[in-house]
Structure 1
């Protein structure tokens, strides 16, 4: 292959460029997605349950405008402002409903008549004191639209976006832009309010905005780090420039492939450039360092690149293929964006492999690269280190075993946990506002229950309503719950109203026909946009009860879900159902992903080891390669338990990602060891020394590049990327230590028989 490149250097130079340009055409199809549904596969049971709920009742995607005045909400000035803001909120694009203190439908009796009015009405039927008393005692408002401290209120805008994905994306942008403009108007017109925006719509918008922020900040930093590393090591501007062009081509080709495949750009995908940069530089550095070393020894350029190529092509190819396999292993994930990241990273890895083996040698041959000759002595550091390992390999094996046992013992301390609000750090506006909403008003998360009566019109059945009320009362007593919205409270209020507002009648009607009449009378009195379709289905056979939760991790949501499920089974088995919501979806996805990735990682590890054994023509080598690749991941998760302890859906995929990456160093070391043992006929100990001499420095540099690259990700505003950056860096550093200590010790221990028959 290298002879062909030497003979056709211009063809080898321009062909990869043309291929990359063709791939780059796909970048015109790139688009950010702003829908949290992208994190769930179409067969995800929690997503299916939630979609069924959304199809049964009105959708509940919304924006919550929080208004806080520490001097109190219930003043004439503030109440008038709330009414004005509520009116303006109706102008939000794609809005179908606005709920606030202003238009809360207050009911009361006037003789034999039922009156339904806005709580804050234009005719001032109620003064500020009366509004305060009503709102503060209304269970449907407390800790939902007004706090017990009476200093914070909310205006909830329900949004119905088009079903078409492109129109929905455009509509989402319009909705958020309007909401932010409205927020700015509120701050200007009513400076007494602290204003914050939250809700599912703002969560959706936070995903692409976080991704765009990462691209602007992380990619330049990654390029800067790579440039500095390459310049320090190579010391030749043409070689550094060639390497940087290779990296740019690999990134462009990867994103172009993403565009051609029609994959969406998610916040997870924004880590792709950094991953490709680090993988590409780690792969090319072996070829470049070998070339520079030979040039400094006085070898002419053509011979130097030929020998460097022949000396490294085997290991570079194996490393590239196994790294790609590791990324393809992400297809086992339960989270579709990780499928996309894995496939795109695998394509980028293979592109960087081809560019390293074709474009880079051609670049060296075409450009006037000159490197000063200087005598290079054997590196004392590598010589001393290899001597230490060879002499102490038995002790190293024992200490390595002890270290593994210690760190692995900490793994059970990890908890599978996710908090979708905390996917974003505090630099993201959504995170700051969501924290304020949770602190001052209510949680962003909820769990919805659809209770079925089993018959049309069954929502008026007293027995059915009594069961729903029992659950409502139980849920309100739970420490995790902020508020429960249940139509049973409306039935009780209507019953009281129709009995002259007698408090003793604040209970469910005991007559089905009476309940149906109350409901009909109430619905006919409701203004446009404030109907009960968000709580009752069309044929009035089912009721939706919304349990608003405090901001919790997935562990908290799963705990409540299990507790509620058991309560329903034991107390109201006839209406037993499961909860559904985005909060429940995110709570389950981490656990599902861990289980899926355990299987995927095991399969990936076996495949990589089989490939190594086949290529190295040694089943024993394949088995030995398992150890330094499996141990770093295990030890890193033990270290993670001590430093963090939370396994999110991102952390659960790190094992598969890193398996393909850390195997690179193992491959290069095994390749040189195998060459010394079988081709040169040296003993196992001499072969270990040979491997250290020829790839020791390159392994350190590639590991430094990989670690630095993934550490760039810790600067991400998206926790999924930053957590992945931290843990991957742990794995890479531990893997380098294992490749320098444990791997050579294992090779010596398991190749004693060859040593007796060797030349040296």
Structure 2
């Protein structure tokens, strides 16, 4: 250890220059950094349904589009201004980049019977010669159209939808964002022109744009805010602005190296991993504070600068190394999870922790020793607080231990009050159109969610076989009878509609045709219509071997959606021809299954990381019993906070559950420094009480400063644009604070009680046996 410290100090400028050269090299990778803000970035890669969805999308290439929602502020959408707004969209849809078609009430065709009855082809005629009386009549026609109410119109007429489809020239992020921005520009223009109509937009490209803007907003405001708060806090605690800025320089360099590494490795950031650099800043600050605080304490005792830095490195290398290793283990355990969002975040932070550790030993000492010290250093700003903690531990240790134990037991009992739930839209701004439209779709139209299935006949032109048709029809009728289904769209409905229209709209012919040639005629005719009306979704694949069936649902929780899917699969197994293959065709079930799959994976990863961290501490501290005792302040901060959360809220997404692994990766830093200093005191023959006091004197100020920095910086996430990060702040901040309180007020009394018991009991007997067996 001594030789390593001598090398770090003696060659500090050379090491600093090498570090900066490596930073410059890694910095070249930053322009190559990409981001993936799509839904797939948070889906589980191991879910077997994912392959099914991919296959169905190959058979039925999904169209790309955005949804416009029109809601009259007074009355319904059949008022003059609302209809005019929809007409403007229909006429101006080409302002959206790559737009190819628009579908709305304004270009909705009437069925053959209604067209003949009203002597026009479209639901709404030209607006030049129309008045409110005619619009009232149009409302009655529209609300009587079941197909229209299922898709574009609320049953009460208070909301109407329009779909703009586009075909991008490529699938680059910049192209998608450009399309989304053109959609927003058109929306804003329509809002300004028609203030009496609420106009919203919804679509995957809009989700990506909202996520992108939320991240930019957070990076633009939150990161500078965190840095500013950290500078002020460190300035107050360390009593030196130059030392504080040095620590922040190291933190910023750590982020540059981390982001550059991701760029060189071509690993994209996603909705969760984009928070990684902020965590790296906090960890780098923690490493730097431990080294600088002991250095300042040495200066206060009139040590020279080199001697103070040598003492700081001698005291801190072991605990900083242990803390870094255990933190890396904690974040790498997130790789146990199959969601790219979660394990991507873990990998970003793990890489950052390694760079922060190396910089704290190479760059930071050089920076600190370059700074002149013209006056005697002031005591650390938290010395008075630590002195009070020391008195409380030594005078009321037993009481603190018992109260802490009671809190742990009670909150453990409260953990079952939590329930796991997941909202995939929690990554975007809560005030965005997404949340508004989804709520309206749920309440007004009743199709905020859908399940898509592909039924494959297993043969070319198999969907024209009467037997296949009968099975699909029976399946559709069963689905329509289920309480969860708002509507069911299937190609059998289309065949019955065409068959009835072919026979002068006679209801007696509202049945499936039994002539295969007639069925083929209908299908080919539908394909021709589909080429004319590009807004129609494909309901069968090009070789007529499979059909696509859509079930609309509304207001279903993830558990209800999974139960419905289970009933559907059971019905298929019991009633469908085993020669047919039924596949899931969308991500709804995949997102619902995230609760279960990711939660299990996270708990497994947490158990593994907790075991590895405990073993690492036992080896690093060279003491099995102290390694085992470290589990209490490392594990119980999270259980205490999650127990209280169960009473106050109780809703946990899998992405909040990952805080178990994150928290142990962060809070282990405090317990490592307390334990290492305590063990150092014990090996210097101090009593348990004196060793506890020594550990609080040496480690207490640093862990208090780092906890304040961590807690305040994570709490800043409450100001984030996304509900997800706000929840992280509300959960992680108290975990960090509770961890500090346990490390200061619970761990030292625990160590004192345990060592006194050990020396009177098992330890004394062990020494006695060794004395008896010792040869004379």
Using the size of structure 2 for normalisation, the TM-score is: 0.89
> In structure 1, the residue corresponding to 2:582 is in which secondary structure?
coil
**404-413 or 511-520: bigger deviation:** 511-520
**Could you say which residue in structure 2 is the equivalent of 1:155?**
162
**Could you say which residue in structure 1 is the equivalent of 2:258?**
254
Q: Which among 397, 403, 408 is matched to residue 407 of structure 2?
A: 403
**Could you say which residue in structure 2 is the equivalent of 1:324?**
328
Question: Tell me, which stretches of 5 or more residues in structure 1 are unaligned?
Answer: none
**536-545 or 668-677: bigger deviation:** 536-545
Once the two structures are superposed, residues 377-406 of structure 1 have per-residue CA deviations (whole angstroms, 9 ceiling, x without a partner) of 996754554454356555555443432222
> In structure 2, the residue corresponding to 1:370 is in which secondary structure?
coil
Once the two structures are superposed, residues 216-246 of structure 1 have per-residue CA deviations (whole angstroms, 9 ceiling, x without a partner) of 1210111111011101111222212211211
Q: In structure 2, how many angstroms separate the alpha carbons of the residues matched to 1:558 and 1:160?
A: 33
Task: Tell me the CA shift for residue 604 of structure 1.
Answer: 0.9
Going from structure 1 to structure 2, the CA distance change for 1:146 and 1:230 (only over 3 Å counts) comes to same
Once the two structures are superposed, residues 643-687 of structure 1 have per-residue CA deviations (whole angstroms, 9 ceiling, x without a partner) of 332221311211111111111111001101110111x11222322
Q: Which among 560, 564, 568 is matched to residue 560 of structure 1?
A: 564
Q: Which among 658, 663, 667 is matched to residue 653 of structure 1?
A: 658
Q: Which among 205, 227, 231 is matched to residue 231 of structure 2?
A: 227
Determine if contact 2:450/2:551 at 8 Å carries over to the other structure.
yes
**Could you say which residue in structure 2 is the equivalent of 1:343?**
347
**93-102 or 370-379: bigger deviation:** 370-379
Alignment of 1:739 onto 2:743: yes
Task: Tell me the CA shift for residue 556 of structure 1.
Answer: 3.9
Going from structure 1 to structure 2, the CA distance change for 1:401 and 1:510 (only over 3 Å counts) comes to farther
Alignment of 1:333 onto 2:337: yes
**Could you say which residue in structure 2 is the equivalent of 1:19?**
22
Q: In structure 2, how many angstroms separate the alpha carbons of the residues matched to 1:638 and 1:227?
A: 34
**Could you say which residue in structure 2 is the equivalent of 1:268?**
272
Going from structure 1 to structure 2, the CA distance change for 1:389 and 1:570 (only over 3 Å counts) comes to farther
Alignment of 1:57 onto 2:60: yes
**Could you say which residue in structure 1 is the equivalent of 2:494?**
490
Q: In structure 1, how many angstroms separate the alpha carbons of the residues matched to 2:552 and 2:680?
A: 65
Going from structure 1 to structure 2, the CA distance change for 1:715 and 1:291 (only over 3 Å counts) comes to same
Q: Which among 639, 645, 652 is matched to residue 634 of structure 1?
A: 639
Q: In structure 2, how many angstroms separate the alpha carbons of the residues matched to 1:276 and 1:414?
A: 29
> In structure 1, the residue corresponding to 2:452 is in which secondary structure?
strand
**Could you say which residue in structure 2 is the equivalent of 1:216?**
220
Task: Tell me the CA shift for residue 65 of structure 1.
Answer: 0.7
Determine if contact 1:285/1:698 at 8 Å carries over to the other structure.
yes
Once the two structures are superposed, residues 111-152 of structure 1 have per-residue CA deviations (whole angstroms, 9 ceiling, x without a partner) of 99xx99554466999975665444323332214200111132
Task: Tell me the CA shift for residue 182 of structure 1.
Answer: 2.4
Going from structure 1 to structure 2, the CA distance change for 1:45 and 1:207 (only over 3 Å counts) comes to farther
> In structure 1, the residue corresponding to 2:729 is in which secondary structure?
helix
**Could you say which residue in structure 2 is the equivalent of 1:136?**
143
Going from structure 1 to structure 2, the CA distance change for 1:523 and 1:276 (only over 3 Å counts) comes to closer
**Could you say which residue in structure 1 is the equivalent of 2:681?**
676
Going from structure 1 to structure 2, the CA distance change for 1:479 and 1:207 (only over 3 Å counts) comes to farther
Aligned residues: 752
Q: Which among 127, 146, 149 is matched to residue 153 of structure 2?
A: 146
Q: In structure 1, how many angstroms separate the alpha carbons of the residues matched to 2:389 and 2:50?
A: 55
Once the two structures are superposed, residues 475-507 of structure 1 have per-residue CA deviations (whole angstroms, 9 ceiling, x without a partner) of 445554444332333222223222222234334
Going from structure 1 to structure 2, the CA distance change for 1:447 and 1:97 (only over 3 Å counts) comes to farther
Going from structure 1 to structure 2, the CA distance change for 1:269 and 1:108 (only over 3 Å counts) comes to same
Alignment of 1:175 onto 2:171: no
**543-552 or 511-520: bigger deviation:** 511-520
Kindly report which structure 2 residues correspond to 1:463-474, keeping only aligned pairs within 5 A, or say none.
463-474=467-478
Going from structure 1 to structure 2, the CA distance change for 1:522 and 1:327 (only over 3 Å counts) comes to closer
Determine if contact 1:199/1:444 at 8 Å carries over to the other structure.
no
Going from structure 1 to structure 2, the CA distance change for 1:548 and 1:635 (only over 3 Å counts) comes to same
**Could you say which residue in structure 2 is the equivalent of 1:666?**
671
Q: In structure 2, how many angstroms separate the alpha carbons of the residues matched to 1:347 and 1:377?
A: 32
Task: Tell me the CA shift for residue 344 of structure 1.
Answer: 1.7
**Could you say which residue in structure 1 is the equivalent of 2:586?**
581
Using the size of structure 1 for normalisation, the TM-score is: 0.90
Going from structure 1 to structure 2, the CA distance change for 1:118 and 1:169 (only over 3 Å counts) comes to farther
Task: Tell me the CA shift for residue 28 of structure 1.
Answer: 1.1
**Could you say which residue in structure 1 is the equivalent of 2:51?**
48
Q: Which among 187, 199, 204 is matched to residue 191 of structure 2?
A: 187
**Could you say which residue in structure 1 is the equivalent of 2:753?**
749
Once the two structures are superposed, residues 43-77 of structure 1 have per-residue CA deviations (whole angstroms, 9 ceiling, x without a partner) of 44233222112111130443101122243334677
Going from structure 1 to structure 2, the CA distance change for 1:466 and 1:204 (only over 3 Å counts) comes to farther
**Could you say which residue in structure 2 is the equivalent of 1:617?**
622
Kindly report which structure 2 residues correspond to 1:85-164, keeping only aligned pairs within 5 A, or say none.
85-89=89-93, 92-95=96-99, 98-108=102-112, 117-120=121-124, 128=135, 131-161=138-168
Once the two structures are superposed, residues 402-454 of structure 1 have per-residue CA deviations (whole angstroms, 9 ceiling, x without a partner) of 32222122222222211122332424343344444444445443211112334
What's the RMSD between the two structures over aligned residues? 3.3
> In structure 2, the residue corresponding to 1:6 is in which secondary structure?
helix
**201-210 or 427-436: bigger deviation:** 427-436
Q: In structure 1, how many angstroms separate the alpha carbons of the residues matched to 2:610 and 2:530?
A: 62
Q: In structure 1, how many angstroms separate the alpha carbons of the residues matched to 2:85 and 2:494?
A: 27
**Could you say which residue in structure 1 is the equivalent of 2:210?**
206
Q: In structure 2, how many angstroms separate the alpha carbons of the residues matched to 1:212 and 1:50?
A: 31
Task: Tell me the CA shift for residue 33 of structure 1.
Answer: 2.7
Q: In structure 1, how many angstroms separate the alpha carbons of the residues matched to 2:590 and 2:727?
A: 21
> In structure 1, the residue corresponding to 2:69 is in which secondary structure?
strand
Q: In structure 2, how many angstroms separate the alpha carbons of the residues matched to 1:376 and 1:242?
A: 17
Kindly report which structure 2 residues correspond to 1:410-559, keeping only aligned pairs within 5 A, or say none.
410-441=414-445, 443-476=447-480, 478=482, 480-526=484-530, 528-530=532-534, 534-550=538-554, 552-559=556-563
Q: In structure 1, how many angstroms separate the alpha carbons of the residues matched to 2:642 and 2:466?
A: 54
Q: Which among 708, 711, 728 is matched to residue 707 of structure 1?
A: 711
Going from structure 1 to structure 2, the CA distance change for 1:424 and 1:177 (only over 3 Å counts) comes to closer
Task: Tell me the CA shift for residue 273 of structure 1.
Answer: 2.9
Determine if contact 2:63/2:537 at 8 Å carries over to the other structure.
no
> In structure 2, the residue corresponding to 1:577 is in which secondary structure?
strand
Determine if contact 2:238/2:381 at 8 Å carries over to the other structure.
no
Going from structure 1 to structure 2, the CA distance change for 1:272 and 1:381 (only over 3 Å counts) comes to closer
Determine if contact 1:211/1:270 at 8 Å carries over to the other structure.
yes
Determine if contact 2:200/2:433 at 8 Å carries over to the other structure.
no
Kindly report which structure 2 residues correspond to 1:596-615, keeping only aligned pairs within 5 A, or say none.
596-615=601-620
Going from structure 1 to structure 2, the CA distance change for 1:61 and 1:324 (only over 3 Å counts) comes to same
Question: Tell me, which stretches of 5 or more residues in structure 2 are unaligned?
Answer: 765-776
Determine if contact 2:76/2:159 at 8 Å carries over to the other structure.
yes
Going from structure 1 to structure 2, the CA distance change for 1:743 and 1:501 (only over 3 Å counts) comes to same
**Could you say which residue in structure 2 is the equivalent of 1:687?**
691
> In structure 1, the residue corresponding to 2:161 is in which secondary structure?
strand
**217-226 or 361-370: bigger deviation:** 361-370
**547-556 or 364-373: bigger deviation:** 547-556
Q: In structure 2, how many angstroms separate the alpha carbons of the residues matched to 1:370 and 1:557?
A: 69
> In structure 2, the residue corresponding to 1:751 is in which secondary structure?
helix
Task: Tell me the CA shift for residue 302 of structure 1.
Answer: 1.9
> In structure 2, the residue corresponding to 1:741 is in which secondary structure?
helix
Q: In structure 2, how many angstroms separate the alpha carbons of the residues matched to 1:116 and 1:376?
A: 84
**117-126 or 311-320: bigger deviation:** 117-126
Once the two structures are superposed, residues 537-585 of structure 1 have per-residue CA deviations (whole angstroms, 9 ceiling, x without a partner) of 1122222122233355433432332343344445556567353423322
Q: In structure 1, how many angstroms separate the alpha carbons of the residues matched to 2:209 and 2:381?
A: 58
Going from structure 1 to structure 2, the CA distance change for 1:742 and 1:661 (only over 3 Å counts) comes to same
